[in-house]
Amino acid sequence: MAKQKTAYVCIECGAEYSKWQGQCSACKEWNSVQEIRLGASSGASGRNASLSSARSGFAGGLSKQVQDLSEINLQDLPRFSTTFNEFDRVLGGGLVPGSAILIGGNPGA
């Protein structure tokens, strides 16, 4: 039998957590983190396993509809400043909670 996957999401700001917590650390609201059930992990192997996990992954747990990139409004995302104005500008206004940023450059530069 496939194991049901669980995630926890703040209903106020959308912050995602792997465990339940009483207060959302992003927006500081109490009792706003709720459990959501994600797709069950299947016993599929190889290419089919990667396709099924891509369709039912954590990031896609809340939205099941395909959207055009032009329909997504990035200005509505909560951001916090790094105190480096140029870096905040490059990031589109600051760091987004839950995002991953890869910084690279030439060694020794």
Domain ranges of the chain: 1-58, 76-104
Q: How many CA atoms lie within 13 A of 96 on its CB side?
A: 17
The pLDDT tens digits for 2-31 are 677 888 998 888 888 889 999 999 899 999
pLDDT at 85: 93
pLDDT at 1: 59
pLDDT at 42: 53
% of the chain with per-residue pLDDT over 70: 72
Q: How far is CA 48 from the centre of its chain?
A: 23
Q: How far is CA 40 from the centre of its chain?
A: 19
39-43: average pLDDT: 58
The model scores a pTM over 0.85: no
The pLDDT tens digits for 52-90 are 444 444 454 555 678 788 887 777 778 889 999 999 999
pLDDT at 30: 92
User: Cα–Cα distance between 59 and 75 in angstroms, integer?
Assistant: 19
% of the chain with per-residue pLDDT over 90: 17
